[in-house]
Amino acid sequence: MRFNYDRIVHFKDTDAAGVVFFANILTICHEAYEHSLEMMGFELKLFFSNSGSYAVPIVQAQVDFLHPIFCGDRLIINIQPQKLDSYSFQISYKITNEHSKLLSIAQTKHICISNTDRTKFILPIEIREWIAALNHSG
């Protein structure tokens, strides 16, 4: 299943030059990540509250800006998660406009840790199923 998140760029997303502020593209990508989890049945309040047995913090982020993104632009953010090992995954993001022009690409790396002692924690089945569902072609 391909997962796309549609988003309009708001004035608050931009900088003094009138383009998306560099850090805000990661915020927009994270919105897409959250929405994909919600669509797969995750309870976001529980998932992000660290009240469960694990957390999946971002340990690395990277963004390439290919074209300027302006207030009012309609974005389509495609996310593609990939399992890296038993403890971590990465998400690749492709940000396009409504005409399919590639505007930016980003990537975040997440590691699963125990909420009790902050050590590596095996990716839970629900995370592995989310990754598999978003990688299933069809």
Predicted TM-score (pTM) of the model is 0.93
CATH number, domain of 80, equals 3.10.129.10
Average per-residue pLDDT in the chain?
94
Number of CB atoms found within 10 A of residue 13's CB: 21
Between vectors from CA 3 to CA 77 and to CA 125, what angle results, nearest 5°?
A: 125
Number of domains forming the structure of the chain: 1
What's the domain range around 60?
Answer: 3-135
Amino acid 138: pLDDT: 47
Among residues 6, 13, 15, 64, the one annotated as catalytic is 15
Active site residue 15: yes
Q: Which residues pair with 105 in a beta bridge?
A: 64, 94
Amino acid 41: pLDDT: 93
